[in-house]
Structure 1
Amino acid sequence: MKVAYLGPKGSFTHSATQEYFSNAELVSYGSIPACIKAVAQGEIPIGVVPIENTIEGTVNLTLDYLYHKADLAILGELVMPISQQLLMKKDRSVELAKLTKVYSHPQALAQSQEFIAEYLPEARVIATDSTSLAAEMVANSHDDSVAAIGPVACGQEYDLEIVKADIQDISHNKTRFWIISNQANLRNDSESIEKASLCFIMPNNLPGALQKALTAFSWRELNLNKIESRPLKTTLGEYFFLIDIVLEANQLPLLANAMEEIQYLGGQVKQFGCYHVHRIKGL
């Protein structure tokens, strides 16, 4: 079986995908949209993309693309501890204080803001499409005054030295990844259902629209553990709402009824799926 992931090798998504799909053929894609598109078009049956980080919150690119551009099901969720390392070439002639550039994915840079401000205040911070690409750029650079921020796997993949370890701003940093597919029947029915994720929009002219939608869940005692809004990309001030629900299998009929109630109120619902959460140990 083939599984698409946000690459290249050494990225956090690669590590999470490799850990869970240990016997699959992993196929790297250079961006989140490219990975999702490959699954949506049936090139690859399953994909893994990041959806949320402890420090930086939702990966908006993933959420927006899944809502606006694809019709895919969430088969499961992977949760993995995230630690960031400062990586440099082993044969460098430049010390940490003389760094001029630091490369990494925007999420990794944001997760390490305090370290960068304290130890690398003069270095230029440059965003890349992935932590792996940042490490590859440093490994191939002729400039010894550059560094990358990324996981241990990046250092191993590109033969870089960990100059400073665990530089993320908080120690309990984690990232959630969604396992997505255009074939909902690929979900393992033997796994317990722990969560559900869906998006909805409500009519603009309905007073108390959001409160009415949330009431559909609350009076059924469905436990919402996340709600957030994203621009609908139509008119300024129009949004869709993502909710995550802590769910038990016997609550599936209640969830279906809640979605029907929202639709009865004039809302539109896009259900991503009900799924199990897999917790991966730190790598």
Structure 2
Amino acid sequence: MKVGYLGPEATFTHLAVCSCFTSAKQQAFSTIPACMDAAMNGEIDLAVVPLENAIEGSVNLTIDYLIHEQPLYIVGEITAPIRQHLLVHPARKEVWADIQKVYSHSHAIAQCHKFLHSQFHSVPFKYATSTGAAAKYVSEHPEQNIAVIANEMAAETYQLEIVKRDIHDYEYNHTRFVMLHPDRHASVQVNPILTSRPKTTLLVTLPSDRSGALHQVLSAFAWRNLNLSKIESRPTKTGLGNYFFIIDIEMAIDDVLIPGAIAELEALGCKVKLLGAYNAYSL
């Protein structure tokens, strides 16, 4: 099996892939869309991309590309702890407090806002496509007085020095990564030591001319005692005020409860699409 991930090496996505797939071949992609395109085209067997962070919320690029561009299915999920460190080139270790720029992914920088505001409030940021790409850039430019926010794997891979550990704003910093495949029934073989729980994810579009539709949608799940762990709105991109909803249900898809809820939603005039029925793993 070949697993694609948001690269280059030593991104948090790569770290999750290494923990979850111990024997799979790996292929890095420079962007989330490139990774998802490769899964759709059959270049890889599975795409692993970030979906949501506990501090910064959803990765909208992943959601929008999944909904509007590549109709892949979620066939698995990995939740991994995120520890953000401040790294510099070894040549800059002694003068790291005087760095002139911080380089990283926008989500990583946002996760460390308090630290950056207190320590480097006047230092500009430069955004990269991933923390791994930022670490690679810093390693290749020792002449520049810059730092990167990344993980310990990036420090080892690109031979950088960790000068400040755990700089993220909140202790509980976790990210959900989704495994994507064109076939929703695709089997996923992961590290057997990982624990999992079943989940089902639906995409629901409300009828435009029905008042109270969202309340009725939630009621369809509530009276069936279906536990929703997340409901999120995203614009349909067809006009202001038009949204669809992504709903996570904390159970495997069955023959009665979830199909019954879907049938009730469709009777209300909603459009419903199954995005995936899968196992959610925790590292």
TM-score for the superposition, normalised by structure 2:
0.94
Alpha-carbon spacing, 1:220–1:22, altered in 2? closer, same or farther (3 Å): same
Q: Distance in 2 between matches of 1:170 and 1:252?
A: 41
| Matching residue of 2:105 | 105
Deviation string for 1:39-76 (max 9, x for gaps)? 12222121101111110011111111111112222111
Distance apart, 1:211 and its partner CA? 1.0
Alpha-carbon spacing, 1:121–1:256, altered in 2? closer, same or farther (3 Å): same
| Matching residue of 2:61 | 61
Q: Distance in 2 between matches of 1:272 and 1:10?
A: 28
Q: Which of these residues, 202, 207, 210, is aligned with residue 206 of structure 2?
A: 202
Alpha-carbon spacing, 1:229–1:93, altered in 2? closer, same or farther (3 Å): closer
**RMSD after superposition:** 1.8
Alpha-carbon spacing, 1:252–1:192, altered in 2? closer, same or farther (3 Å): farther
2:270 aligned with 1:270: no
Matched residue SS, 2:23: coil
Would you say how many aligned residue pairs link Structure 1 and Structure 2?
279
2:185 aligned with 1:215: no
Specify every segment of 5 or more residues in structure 1 that has no aligned partner in the other structure, as ranges.
Answer: none
Distance apart, 1:143 and its partner CA? 3.0
2:232 aligned with 1:225: no
Q: Distance in 1 between matches of 2:76 and 2:255?
A: 16
Matched residue SS, 1:212: helix
Distance apart, 1:7 and its partner CA? 0.6
2:154 aligned with 1:150: no
Alpha-carbon spacing, 1:100–1:252, altered in 2? closer, same or farther (3 Å): farther
Deviation string for 1:51-105 (max 9, x for gaps)? 1111001111111111111222211110110000101011227623311100000
Q: Distance in 1 between matches of 2:171 and 2:180?
A: 28
Q: Is the 8 A contact 1:49 1:62 kept in 2?
A: yes
Q: Is the 8 A contact 1:192 1:275 kept in 2?
A: no
| Matching residue of 2:244 | 240
| Matching residue of 1:96 | 96
Identity %, equivalent residues: 42
Distance apart, 1:184 and its partner CA? 2.4
Q: Distance in 2 between matches of 1:162 and 1:252?
A: 52
Alpha-carbon spacing, 1:3–1:35, altered in 2? closer, same or farther (3 Å): same
Q: Distance in 2 between matches of 1:70 and 1:264?
A: 27
Q: Is the 8 A contact 1:138 1:146 kept in 2?
A: yes
| Matching residue of 2:133 | 133
Which moved further from structure 2: 220-229 or 138-147? Answer: 138-147
Matched residue SS, 2:33: helix
Q: Distance in 1 between matches of 2:203 and 2:112?
A: 31
Supply the AA of the counterpart residue of 1:232. T
Q: Is the 8 A contact 2:88 2:96 kept in 1?
A: no
Supply the AA of the counterpart residue of 2:103. Y
Matched residue SS, 1:228: strand
Q: Distance in 1 between matches of 2:174 and 2:132?
A: 18
| Matching residue of 2:261 | 258
Which moved further from structure 2: 148-157 or 178-187? Answer: 178-187
TM-score for the superposition, normalised by structure 1:
0.94
Q: Distance in 1 between matches of 2:126 and 2:230?
A: 31
Alpha-carbon spacing, 1:101–1:79, altered in 2? closer, same or farther (3 Å): same
Matched residue SS, 1:233: coil
